[in-house]
Amino acid sequence: MADLLALKGSEVIAVDLNDAPAAVPKEQLSDGRRELPCATGVIDVGAILKALNEIGYDGPVRAEPFNQAVNRMPKEEACAVTAVALKKAFALIS
């Protein structure tokens, strides 16, 4: 978090928001296995979004789940569950 707070908002280009799988040790996490934001609580999404607000970031934030279950969903369903996850994440900072 200190690294994020050391930035200016203008130095952040875009934010890919996700969560990490539960019960996987930090050193075994891989970039290719992620969950929707707020799905497991492993990543403190609220703290990240609050820090982005604090540094004045006003750019795009998108979900990046890299999740097989979401990838198998029909596009409309995947969009719907992703929208719910993002709304849940942004509710943490209101």
Among 70, 64, 69, 76, which Cα is nearest to 37's? Answer: 64
Each residue of 45-73: pLDDT tens digit?
999 999 999 999 999 999 987 888 999 99
* Cα 59 off chain centre by: 14
pLDDT class for 94, splitting at 50, 70, 90?
confident
Number of independent structural domains in the chain: 1
Rounded Cα–Cα distance for residues 75 and 71 (Å): 8
The C-alpha torsion from 39 through 44 and 46 to 51, rounded to 10°, is -150
**Structural domain that includes position 32:** 2-91
